[in-house]
């Protein structure tokens, strides 16, 4: 049997240079001949390794997807920021009006006034702390993006 011919065909096989008849003949021979089969498997391993090493450049679609996802994340962050900011403004405004009315109201017991004021103070402090945490997380996320 002509093993040299088949071993030459093996590299041609991976280069896609064999005719369908040659391919069939080679495959048949590989089933019968362990020596050529191991040669074939070695070339196959090498070829798949090379395919992994020389990965194709990211296509245009991949880049588009990447930028779309960056834009989406940015959009969500801005949404969160506006939401937090808006709720703080509304809360301060509402609290201010409430406090003004509370102080003017002579019928409300002092203890209730103090209770409501401290409740509102607590809400404001928690909200500010929440917002600070969100801003902090945003910064950390940005660092993560740089690291990637």
Closer to Zn ion by Cβ: residue 3 or 73: 3
Closer to Zn ion by Cβ: residue 5 or 73: 5
Closer to Zn ion by Cβ: residue 14 or 80: 14
The single residue listed with the structure tokens 């809400």 is 123
CB neighbour list of residue 102: distance below 8 Å, 6 or more residues apart: 108, 113, 116, 117
Q: Rounded to whole angstroms, what are the CA distances from 129 to 30, 96, 119, 142?
A: 70, 19, 15, 20
- Taking the complex as a whole, the smallest distance from the CB of residue 32 to Zn ion amounts, in Å, to 8
Applying CB under 5 A, the residues found at the interface with Zn ion are 3, 33, 36
- Taking the complex as a whole, the smallest distance from the CB of residue 6 to Zn ion amounts, in Å, to 5
Rounded Cα–Cα distance for residues 101 and 70 (Å): 46
- Taking the complex as a whole, the smallest distance from the CB of residue 69 to Zn ion amounts, in Å, to 51
């Amino acid at each position: 049997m002509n093993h040299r011919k088949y071993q030459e065909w093996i590299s041609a096989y991976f280069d896609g240079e064999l005719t369908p008849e040659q391919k069939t003949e080679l495959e048949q021979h590989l089933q019968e001949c362990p020596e050529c089969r191991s040669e074939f498997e070695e070339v196959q391993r090498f070829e798949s390794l090379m395919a992994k090493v020389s990965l194709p450049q990211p296509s245009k679609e991949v880049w588009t997807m990447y930028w779309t996802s960056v834009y989406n994340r940015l959009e969500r962050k801005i949404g969160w920021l506006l939401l937090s900011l808006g709720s703080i403004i509304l809360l301060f405004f509402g609290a201010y009006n409430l406090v003004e009315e509370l102080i003017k109201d002579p019928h409300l017991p002092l203890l209730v006034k103090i209770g409501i004021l401290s409740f509102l103070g607590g809400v404001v402090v928690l909200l500010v702390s929440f917002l600070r945490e969100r801003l902090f997380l945003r910064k950390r996320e940005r660092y993560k993006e740089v690291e990637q």
